[in-house]
Amino acid sequence: MAAIISASELLSELAASAGTPERRPVLLDVRWQLGGPPGEREYRAGHLPGAVYIDLDTVLAAPPGPGGRHPLPEPGAFGAAMRLAGVRHDRPVVTYDGGQGWGAARAWWLLRWAGHRQVRVLDGGLAAWTGELTEEVPVPEPGDFRPRPGALPLLDAEGAAGLARDGLLLDARAAERYRGETEPVDPVAGHIPGAVCAPTTENTGPDGRLRPAAELARRFAALGAGPDTPVGVYCGSGVSAAHEVLALAVAGIDAALYAGSWSEWCADPDRPVATGPHPG
């Protein structure tokens, strides 16, 4: 199944499944902004009909700690939250957010990693949606989804360091954070030695949609992605990096996520830090 779905495609699928709820995609609203308030208030002001709000900080992540600002949630708790949202193994899921794509991609990655095979991100998010919105909060029939972690590759700090040496480790943060010129969130500035600067924001066009697959493939090839090169991605806390993994998937490239990302890496003073425009 494709990793993304357009607004027009989703409208068609929803129309085609009218009257057959077992065929209707489960819709998850994952509006989120780094440092911003939870997106539930925006959700209640208007969302896709039938969509269930999912809080990234409490459902798609464990509490902050040594594993970073957004460690992976405990699988049992994640599965319980997905079942409450109506997620089933045999029904497709579509995730969306306000348009940035990061929150939706985090939900996409977690569900795929946990074994769900039919998950897509609404390309361009709510900003691309042309259908109706509603303030009605649904009460879905509980689902049956139970996580089976490991369906997508996951990196720890040692694995990320190894890819930086022997493969391709992409840093999805803004270039100035990669260079160590500024660090607005974490206590240390810089990047993992050997990592290549690849801001997530360059994967989307002005409308917030992902660039065409061929264009993304050319971009990642220029950064060093090749048929025999293992690829990994990190960011500040494993959220925008999930969006880069999504872009890589659209380009036909499998990539591992370093979920702890820079917030975990820089928490250990014994781990090396590079600065400047080059991998180091």
Determine, yes or no, domain membership for 71.
yes
> In the structure, what pLDDT confidence band is assigned to residue 22 with cuts at 50, 70 and 90?
confident
Residues 258 and 172 in one domain: yes
Percentage of the chain exceeding pLDDT 70: 100
Query: For position 21, what pLDDT does the model report?
Result: 77
Residues 104 and 179 in one domain: no
Residues 186 and 98 in one domain: no
Q: Taking the alpha carbons of 16, 21, 25, 27 in that order, is the dihedral positive or negative?
A: positive
Kindly state the average pLDDT of the residues 200-204.
98
Q: Are 242 and 267 in contact (CB under 8 A)?
A: no
Structure tokens at 213: 């697959």
Q: What is the DSSP letter of 236?
A: S
197 flagged as catalytic: no
Residues 21 and 104 in one domain: yes
Its domain, for residue 255, covers 154-265
- Looking at every residue in the chain, the average pLDDT score rounds to 97
Residues 11 and 120 in one domain: yes
Query: For position 1, what pLDDT does the model report?
Result: 84
- CATH number, domain with residue 93: 3.40.250.10
Query: For position 224, what pLDDT does the model report?
Result: 98
Structure tokens at 8: 């027009």
Kindly state the average pLDDT of the residues 63-89.
97
Q: pLDDT, tens digit, for every residue of 82-137?
A: 999 999 999 999 999 999 999 999 999 999 999 999 999 999 999 999 999 999 99
> At 58, is the secondary structure helix, strand, or coil?
helix
Chosen domain end from 60, 94, 128: 128
Residues 119 and 182 in one domain: no
In the chain, how many domains are there? 2
Quick one: 128 exposed, middle or buried, by C-beta within 10 A (0-12, 13-18, 19+)?
middle
Percentage of the chain exceeding pLDDT 90: 95
Of 235, 250, 257, 266, catalytic: 235
φ and ψ of 130, to 5 deg: -115, 0
Determine, yes or no, domain membership for 56.
yes
